[in-house]
Structure 1
């Protein structure tokens, strides 16, 4: 196989990975609280030069050059995939159970069959039992969850449910129209290093290798909870569409190079080798 095939194949695989990431972002352009996926691209030679002190061989770029195919060194690859936690726009909905967080490091905690997970999607609702849940049916946790293991349950006769900026939940009923009745407080969690989080399905985040119950910091004083608001996706559709067009064009270019390698160069080599000269 010609050396050019390595470079072209690596470039196409990289663009396919990028295409998957762009497609996921575009598909979630209207998902509440969604955080876009992004990638860092590089090549082996650049990585070896930047990290040669950390590699096992002394003077790595000089000694290893005897064994490495130099054409492979320039093969582009995705160095790192990460989540961009930049806040999306916060819009007013008029729904009292829609909640948004005003800081990017804050999350709501929910209970799932796989354990406790975090989310930025505050589009909540009440289930048949009157418990506060996500659109997927996961229970929204209260600040006292680890003490009583009880869900946030809103009475059926509640007339006006209010959620303060500190997460304090109160309501009015027919017998006490003027004095709000204290119900519970939302569990709001702060994550210092956002890259410790790993995105899962249903717009949830986990912390692989760690137990959220032990690692997460429950906020005791905050003014970042906004009722009647929802955070939208932080995906920029114009930028993603531009990247999609660019990726498709790069794949087409790589395909043409592969065709040239396979058809033109091989054909030319066969003709020259097969020619008989007097």
Structure 2
């Protein structure tokens, strides 16, 4: 077996997968509150040496070493995928239904057909039923309605105000003598003890495992909410384009290695075997 051919193939597959992630980052460059994804590329041997003490067979290194091809162990693989949760730039708008969160571990809770999901995209609107909703029509949950899927009703002709803790107030814009704002509940802003378990499920939403919902921490994240702002994507176009160029060059390099094995080394091997025969 040509181990070099195997290694080049594994490396190319790894770079193709990385290319998909980079392309998705660039496609969401202008998506509000989008968090870029990235990968850690390693190899089996390095991972094995790092974690061999925790493996169940204590002597497998000694016994298996007789048969391991070290070249195969060096095939590049994606050892970990992760999401960069750093906060994107804040952009001011004139829309009172636009909200941004300036804490990394803070999310809005919304009701979807598949259950409660979480998002950092606070570009809201008023739904057909008069409740505060996402652009996709998912109801934004209130603090007291988090466990019973209770939303936030926005009466007509009412202007919405919010403080940094997510508390909402209404003003009657139809009244010439604008009265004191009326308390109108609060937006549910949740954080998690282990945000690493948040999983992207599309449409800028995250899912948290149901068996870990007891780790959902506080419903009030102090000084986290900013009205009239939206959080932009944390994707840096320059960095992603540099990664894209680097990945394309690696794919081209692996392609040349594969071509060398197929066209040159195999041809030479067949010729020598034929001569000896």
Task: Report the TM-score range of the alignment, normalised by the length of the smaller protein.
Answer: over 0.9
1:138 maps to what in 2? 138
**In 2, Cα distance between equivalents of 1:62 and 1:147:** 54
> Using a 3 Å threshold, how does the CA distance of structure 1 residues 157 and 148 change in structure 2: closer, same or farther?
farther
Structure 1 runs not aligned, ≥5 long: none
**In 2, Cα distance between equivalents of 1:102 and 1:216:** 18
Structure 1 residue 119: Cα displacement: 0.5
Bigger mean CA offset, 63-72 vs 128-137: 63-72
1:271 maps to 2:266: no
> Using a 3 Å threshold, how does the CA distance of structure 1 residues 30 and 178 change in structure 2: closer, same or farther?
same
3-state secondary structure, aligned to 2:168 = strand
**In 2, Cα distance between equivalents of 1:66 and 1:147:** 57
> Using a 3 Å threshold, how does the CA distance of structure 1 residues 27 and 221 change in structure 2: closer, same or farther?
closer
Q: Is the 8 A contact 1:43 1:73 kept in 2?
A: yes
Written as runs of structure 1 = structure 2, the 5 A alignment for 1:212-231 is 212=213, 214-220=214-220, 222-231=222-231
**In 2, Cα distance between equivalents of 1:105 and 1:11:** 35
Q: Is the 8 A contact 1:6 1:71 kept in 2?
A: no
**In 1, Cα distance between equivalents of 2:8 and 2:147:** 58
Q: Is the 8 A contact 2:126 2:132 kept in 1?
A: yes
Residue-pair matches, total: 275
1:162 maps to what in 2? 161
**In 1, Cα distance between equivalents of 2:57 and 2:69:** 17
2:74 maps to what in 1? 74
CA RMSD of aligned residues (A): 1.7
3-state secondary structure, aligned to 1:108 = strand
3-state secondary structure, aligned to 2:108 = strand
**In 1, Cα distance between equivalents of 2:235 and 2:160:** 31
Bigger mean CA offset, 79-88 vs 267-276: 267-276
The alignment's TM-score, normalised by the length of structure 1, stands at 0.93
**In 1, Cα distance between equivalents of 2:27 and 2:221:** 36
2:171 maps to what in 1? 172
The alignment's TM-score, normalised by the length of structure 2, stands at 0.94
Q: Is the 8 A contact 1:35 1:83 kept in 2?
A: yes
**In 2, Cα distance between equivalents of 1:119 and 1:267:** 56
List structure 1 runs of 4+ shifted beyond 4 angstroms: 146-149
3-state secondary structure, aligned to 1:9 = helix
**In 2, Cα distance between equivalents of 1:12 and 1:61:** 28
Structure 1 residue 52: Cα displacement: 1.3
2:56 maps to what in 1? 56
Structure 1 residue 178: Cα displacement: 2.2
2:103 maps to what in 1? 103
> Using a 3 Å threshold, how does the CA distance of structure 1 residues 84 and 110 change in structure 2: closer, same or farther?
same
3-state secondary structure, aligned to 2:181 = strand
Q: Is the 8 A contact 2:19 2:244 kept in 1?
A: yes
1:35 maps to what in 2? 35
1:251 maps to what in 2? 251
**In 1, Cα distance between equivalents of 2:100 and 2:239:** 25
Structure 2 runs not aligned, ≥5 long: none
**In 2, Cα distance between equivalents of 1:274 and 1:147:** 76
1:19 maps to what in 2? 19
